[in-house]
Structure formats: structure tokens, C-alpha cells
Structure 1
Amino acid sequence: MPRRCPLVIGHRGAPGYRPEHSRSSYDLALAMGVDAVEPDIVVSKDGVLVVRHENEISGTTDVATRPEFADRHTTKSVDGVSLTGWFTEDFTWDELATLRCRERLPELRTVSASFDDRQPVLRLRDVLDLVRDASLEQGREIGVVLEIKHATYMEALGWDLAELIETELRDAGWADGRHPLVIEAFEATILDGLRERGIRGSYIYLIEASGKPYDLVARLGRGAPTYKREISPAGLDALVGRVDGISVDKRLILAPDRWGRTSGPAPLVSEARERGLRIFTWTVRPENAFLIGQFRGHGGKAAFGDYEGEWGVIRDAALDGVFVDHPDLGVAFFGS
């Protein structure tokens, strides 16, 4: 079966319909025909790679309701930001496995929230096995886009994150190119480490619309380059041969003006392509809350606006991949 371009990637599964990173979220995304799914990984106290968007888990699990874990409530600095809550690195995997997934945006996604507290937290291995089995059952190639979260922070806690990931991927049969694998991170240092270990896949550097990569902040302090500098012509030149591509906040593609009107696709797309770099974007969502001003409609934040108008600009950019929260809409639109 020929692969779509752009690849349609189920962002944390199908979180427009089910709590993110839950088993049903991934099952639904795979059933809706995505080309790949995207698990985010953090680390448990005993070194298990856990599928969560953040290591602070009060917003996506029922941990705050569990009296046996009340003493784990704490405040930490993660990538230079003070956060209060419960953190995966303070729990063993056996403890995390008792928690249940919850919708991160319950007021916006009420249907998804109706599935709260039903499904356990997953490990990376669970998702790798699930995708491999779905590929066999559906008779088509389905990939994994593995996002590594807070790499510098986790390594400061004593974990050799590259070693943990390499071991998991090799044990699961995902390290030698048999299955389509993309590895991405907001910190290029961890991508370097995995490439050096011979993990076969595409290496993609995630780019925020503002701010600085935390691995460079930790190393260089105030002198660290911004993400904006990383995607300047000189910055892109430096990425050639180091990574296979970039994955950027959709605002960097849409290039909205001060009134929220798009002027995209932005020159960044052609600049990356001229250097042989692949380019992805995140995250395309239909709700008004996530659309730029030009494409918002009536009905409040949860209502769908003119998402096809916004997505059309992204489709015209002829990107290599798009991350979607509603896989059925993404497959129908970008696969047409």
C-alpha cells in the first residue's frame, strides 16, 4: 500500500476522541487509518519508559485522587520551569500501572472525558507491540514517531536515556529498520546519542515557535541560541547531516500576522527542502480554540471552525508529515 504524503500521524493516538496515550486512543487512531502514531516517553523511578506527554501527571491521570500517593506531591524545576504536582520519576512502574488515564482538556473535549478512569497508563513497549500487531492485522505498514521528553532533565537525575531507549527498541524489534521509526525531540543532543548507537530511523528535531532548546541552555546558559536561530538559513545549514528533518509548530508554517491572518506557507518550508531536510508540523486540530484567528467560527472554543481552510494552507505547503488529534478528519483531508 503506497504511503501518503504527508504522513498522517496520530498525535498521542486519537486524543480528539479518547484520553491521550490511552489504549483506546491508540486503537482508534490505528483503526482510522493513520500512517503512524506518536507516543511521548518519560522515565519511572525504576527506569521504565512510560508513555505520558509530561513527567508531571496530575492532569492526565487520577493520581491526585489517590490518597496512597498524597506524599509524592511536590514542586520541581523541569527545564527551568517550576511545576507542582506528581512526577513519574517518583513512582515505580508497578505504582504507575495502578493509575488510570484522564482527558487533559475535559472542558473542551467532554466526549473524551467520559472515558476517564477506565484505562491504565502504558509503557513504550506496550505501544510498540500494539503498532506492530496492527500492521500485521491490517496488512499495511504503520510507523511509530517516538518523542523523547525532557532528556537533559532526566539525565541529570542519573539516567542514561539513550541506553534505556536503545535497549527498549532493540528488545521490541524496532531498532534495525524492520518497522518505520521516527525519533524526535526538542533537544538535538539526545538525537545525536541515539544515532551514534546505530538505531535505524529518521531523526527529527522538534522546533518551538519561541524559546530555546533546554540542552543548549543547560550547556551555554544565556548564550544558548533560540529556536528561531536554529531554523535560520545558517541554523538549517548546521542541521544538515546531523538530523533528517525538522518538525515545527504549525504557526511557523501558517505565519499569521497580528490580526491572525495567515501569510503562509512560510519560506521555512522551501528553505528546509533546499537543504534536503524533511519537514513536519504539529498539531492540526479542528476546534476554534486551536485555530488561528482567521479560521475561527461561532459556537465557542470547543466548536469546529473552518479547519479545512487552515489545513488547506498546510496541505499546500506539501509537508512530509502532519500530527492530528482527530485521525479520521486528518486521513480524509490530507489523504484526498
Structure 2
Amino acid sequence: MACAPPALAPIPSDRPVIIAHRGASGHRPEHTVAAYTLAVQMGADFIEPDLVSTKDGVLVARHENEIGGTTDVALKFPERRATKVVDGDTVSGWFTEDFTLAELRTLRAKERLVLRSHAYDGQFGIPTFDEVLALADSLGRARGRVVGVYPETKHPTYHRAIGLALEPKLLAALRARGLDRRDAPVFIQSFEDGNLRTLRSETRVKLVYLLGAGSLSAEKLRDIATFADGIGVHQRMIIGADSAAVPTTLVRDAHAVGLLVHVWTLRSEPVFLGKRYGGDPVAEAREFVRLGVDGVFGDFPDVVAAAVLGRERLP
């Protein structure tokens, strides 16, 4: 009789979860297998694939449907450049919905930010969501612990309007792997409350409403709690960057209505780091841990892990 495989250690619930923003995107080109793999090696509990659609309806991991800044598409398909209106913004470039998966397979990823290393440009392809799910499973089994996935639906209203709705494919992929359950190591996130309200009746997976600015009243938080399990908030909604900044009551207020609070996005470069941290990105992450957040998104998961787990930063 074959022995059952050993149970994987669950994601801890007694500390903030470590969320690798687009993978270890401070170290490798974002949304690549290399970035996700390194993130898990550095201690990430969750890897985050932003999801957009190909022309033939396959979900792929890209931060935006416009991929001119993150791939070599301009060199390989110069004639495909287009201008579109996406969620009210006029955008020019190359769009995933104009390419089949087979065509996207010919592209290679590159670093999006000028200030980061471009040593790995041209080395990695674009993964599908199914491949990211398979990767999380294999990385978890290799390390003896559960690795979660934290997909974001990018421009869901836009995708639905062009006949490439994201949600059915997302849920189908999760169900195929037995992940459409309340205790699954999955969060689905979105900046649009409309698709989250719909998803609430279609899945048991935990949902997170993303917010980038402003303040939240108790009434608004209570409304969010009717369709989401948590909020993903810009770090400055919790505390400002200046040395004299005082924390807001957002974490406490959200917890009072049963919402988790995940903060985004911590980045280590001086241009992103608040003056209050004296050039130490681990100090920033430690402050959010002290302020009681339930999860931290970081481009450098080694930094977040150092703060959350109280260990030395990995090289």
C-alpha cells in the first residue's frame, strides 16, 4: 500500500502573512516563474499573479493588459501597437487581448523600472494562471509548507466588455485544483467592488477590496464587510511617510467590523521609502507589523520576511 504524502505545514495565522508582490519583483522581472520561485525561497506565504486575458481567453500573469513596458513585444510585433480606452484612460501600446497564447509564448519579460537591475531581461516567459497555480503547489511540496496564491483581477469591467470576462476562468482554474473553498490558501483581490460583489455569491474563497487613497468611514467599512473579507490598502492610508506622522485608526476600525487589513506595497529603494525609516526598509515593514496589519505586500519579500519573522534579511 502506498503511503500518503506528508501534510504540508499551513500558512501561520498568528502573524501577518508575507505576500510577494508580483513575485520577488525587486530582484527579478515581475510576474515570472523566476520571480515567484525566488519569493518562496525568501519566505513568502503568498505569491501574487495579476491576471489579464489573451485573445483566446487564457488568463496570464501581467500587471496590466498593456505589456510594452514588461516584455519585448515592441521588437517582435511592432505592427500590433494600438491605442485603447481602458477604464476611462487612453492607453497606447501592446495589449494581451490582441495576442493568442501561442503568440505571447514567443515574448520574454523585462524589468519595468529603470532604477532596478536589467540583468535578467529576456530570460523568462509569461506564465499562465494555471502554471502559477501548479508552481505554487510544487514549490509548497518541495518546501513542506503551503504556498498560497493571491490573484488580482485587472480591469474586470473592461475585460467583460470585450467578451473576455476574467472571473469564470479564474474560478474554473481554482475549482480544478480543489481551491474553491473557504479555507483555501487563496485571496482574490480587485479595485472594483462590482466584481467582488458578484464573486461573493459565486465562490467561497476569501475576497479583498483594494483601496489606494482616502479615508474610510465606519459605514463604508461595514458595507465592504458585506462583500469582502479584507481590504488591501496603500501604506499611506495607515501612516504617512514623514517622521512626525501619526498612524490613522484604519487598522483598528477595519478589525472592528471583521475585516482583515493587508498593506501595499513596500519597496526598498530610497525613492519609495519614507524619511521616517532612515533608509532602512526592514524598519518600515516592522512598523506595519507593530501597527497590527494582517498581511504585507512587498517587492522584496526577503525584507518583509525579516520583519515578520524576526530574522536576518536573506542575501
Tell me the TM-score normalized by structure 2: 0.90
Work out the CA distance in 1 between the residues paired with 2:136 and 2:47.
Answer: 8
Q: Indicate the RMSD between aligned Cα atoms, in angstroms.
A: 1.6
Work out the CA distance in 2 between the residues paired with 1:320 and 1:294.
Answer: 22
Gaps of 5+ in 2: 1-8, 311-315
Q: Tell me the residue number matched to 1:255.
A: 240
Work out the CA distance in 2 between the residues paired with 1:328 and 1:7.
Answer: 13
Q: Tell me the residue number matched to 1:102.
A: 110
- Alpha-carbon distance, 1:262 to partner: 5.0
Greater share of helix residues, 1 or 2? 1
**1:184-199 counterparts in 2 under 5 A?**
184-197=189-202, 199=203
Q: Is the 8 A contact 2:183 2:205 kept in 1?
A: no
Q: Tell me the residue number matched to 1:318.
A: 292
Work out the CA distance in 1 between the residues paired with 2:235 and 2:18.
Answer: 14
| Equivalent position amino acid for 2:131 in 1 | D
Paired residue secondary structure (1:287): coil
Q: Is the 8 A contact 1:41 1:149 kept in 2?
A: yes
Gaps of 5+ in 1: 210-227, 297-304
Work out the CA distance in 1 between the residues paired with 2:61 and 2:266.
Answer: 21
Answer yes or no: is 1:93 the counterpart of 2:101. yes
Q: Is the 8 A contact 2:282 2:303 kept in 1?
A: no
Paired residue secondary structure (1:243): coil
**1:183-262 counterparts in 2 under 5 A?**
183-197=188-202, 199-209=203-213, 228=214, 231-256=216-241, 260-261=242-243
Q: Tell me the residue number matched to 1:309.
A: 283
**1:1-336 counterparts in 2 under 5 A?**
1=9, 3=12, 5-66=15-76, 69-105=77-113, 107-110=114-117, 113-177=118-182, 179-197=184-202, 199-209=203-213, 228=214, 231-256=216-241, 260-261=242-243, 263-295=245-277, 305-336=279-310
| Equivalent position amino acid for 1:208 in 2 | G
Work out the CA distance in 1 between the residues paired with 2:189 and 2:274.
Answer: 25
Work out the CA distance in 2 between the residues paired with 1:171 and 1:274.
Answer: 35
| Equivalent position amino acid for 1:282 in 2 | W
Q: Is the 8 A contact 2:71 2:108 kept in 1?
A: yes
Q: Tell me the residue number matched to 1:223.
A: none
Identity across matched positions, percent: 42
Work out the CA distance in 2 between the residues paired with 1:246 and 1:119.
Answer: 32
Q: After superposition, what is the alpha-carbon deviation per residue over 1:62-115, rounded to whole angstroms, capped at 9, x for unaligned? A: 10111xx2221011111111111000011111111111010011x3112xx101
- Alpha-carbon distance, 1:178 to partner: 6.7
Work out the CA distance in 1 between the residues paired with 2:244 and 2:101.
Answer: 45
